[in-house]
Amino acid sequence: MTNNLGAINKKILGSGQSFSAVTLADGSTVQTGTVATLLHNARLYDALPADAKEERQKLQEEMLAAVPTVDKVGLFDLFSPEEWMAGSSAARRFVGAAAKKLRESR
């Protein structure tokens, strides 16, 4: 799914623009723009009407694709999965639950 992350992240860019991948100090490579796109998708997700099942599924897939990278760069150390799940945002609850599941699977 990470290979598709670059294409997903392009959705917030202007025509002809692209994000790069960067190598972290541990040698792993991550797609830039992932946090910004995740937040964008969360806003879209929370604004969807209840009957927008196809759009909701697509955004869920895109948010799931972002979770490993967002975890890798430490966002879930700053704001724990439990903090993501708190509150009224369905998107935050979805992402938090996915992050918690990812961490429990290790």
Query: Mean pLDDT of residues grouped by 10 in the chain (106 residues)?
Result: 78 91 93 95 97 97 97 96 96 98 95
The domain tally of the chain equals: 1
Domain around 64: 2-104
pLDDT at 4: 87
pLDDT at 63: 98
CB 81 within 8 A of CB 97: yes
